[in-house]
Amino acid sequence: MTPQATSETTRAPQDAPHLDELRRRVRDLTGRWQAEGRYEPRSDNWMRGFDPDFSRELAAQGLIGMTWPRHVGGGGHSQLARLVVNEELLRAGAPVAAHWIGDRQIGPAVLRHGSPELQAEILPGIAEARSVFCLGMSEPDAGSDLAAVRTTALPADGGWRVTGRKIWTTGAHHATHAYLLARTERGERKHEGLTEFIVDMDTPGVAVAPIVDLAGEHHFNEVTFTDAFVPAHRVLGTVGNAWRQVTEQLSFERGGPERFLSTYPLFALALRHAGPEQRAPLGRLVARLATLRRLARNVAESVDAGAAPVVEAATLKYLGNAFENDVIAFARDVCRPDRPDVTAAWGQALLASPGFTIRGGAADVLLSIIAKQETRP
């Protein structure tokens, strides 16, 4: 039994040939790169696997910015088509970190809220894998409270001056641009007075310091802004309205298949060695995987319909993170001295796992979002 991504034929006959062709194209690409020794499948490679050449090859095949309008470099595809491509990339443990954040949430946010000038400036670079984005959201001492932003942006001649610190900023040491959430005014409520910006990482006053994780890897960073100038046209959306905008954006961040497929390379490896005694727990995991894929499809279809499925995305992330950790627990029972490949993959996934339930919103934050929706009349 192999719970690989299956054909869409039984669920959407009208789209099945197109979607199956996309799956085949991505499987051919990832299979060729693996056969040539150009990458090894790893858990969490959507965040840890930074390979600009791989991202540029995807871009050359029109597999980045797939859902965006063609006049800004996009492909005009549905969110469902993008989901199919990303499922295959994650299943293969491909190194997609160079374009993932820009494609996943910055592009859609710029399309929804950016001016025509900002769209023309930013979107083609993402679609061509020339621009690499990081997220300047979380701050020191703020925990998972995104509204507790202390980074300030003050009006200046021709733009804004930004001062503050961001932490746990994935890929900032590679990034050409940062999405930045900053406070532009003080209101009675902490959710008020926030503004989103697009910042060039080579701007004077922007500094990046590494944060090395338990595995000795460097993908997290602390980013400091010291009177860094941001031009006025780099405001994303409306000044002071960022809370509504960023809440929408988080549905893109939380509602994708990376929230339950981060450990799929380990799962696939463990499947090859699972014995009869693992049949029952394996069956439960496969059933949960099918359910999570259905939830991800629902999120994609909601976005296609013009909605911002905040609660659905939070639900997917909460359940998906539990699944990813349970895959690690399942693989532990398959590890043996004569299976060094499984043991090594298990160790790598285990060291990556502490971040699963924190990035994109901790479990208590997600449950709060879900509970508030459930209690509304």
DSSP state letters, 79-101: HHHHHHHHHHHHHTT---HHHHH
Identify whether the C-beta of residue 264 lies closer than 8 Å to the C-beta of residue 350: no
Q: Which of 87, 88, 248, 253 is catalytic?
A: 253
Count the alpha carbons within 13 Å of 325 in the hemisphere toward its beta carbon: 11
Q: How far apart are CA 122 and CA 119, in angstroms?
A: 5
Identify whether the C-beta of residue 278 lies closer than 8 Å to the C-beta of residue 260: no
Instruction: State the angle between helix axes of 16-35 and 52-60 in degrees (0 to 180), rounded to the nearest 10.
Output: 150
Q: How far apart are CA 41 and CA 67, in angstroms?
A: 26
Catalytic residue flag (residue 253): yes
Q: How far apart are CA 136 and CA 230, in angstroms?
A: 14
Count the alpha carbons within 13 Å of 324 in the hemisphere toward its beta carbon: 28
Q: How far apart are CA 73 and CA 190, in angstroms?
A: 37
Q: Which residues are catalytic?
A: 253
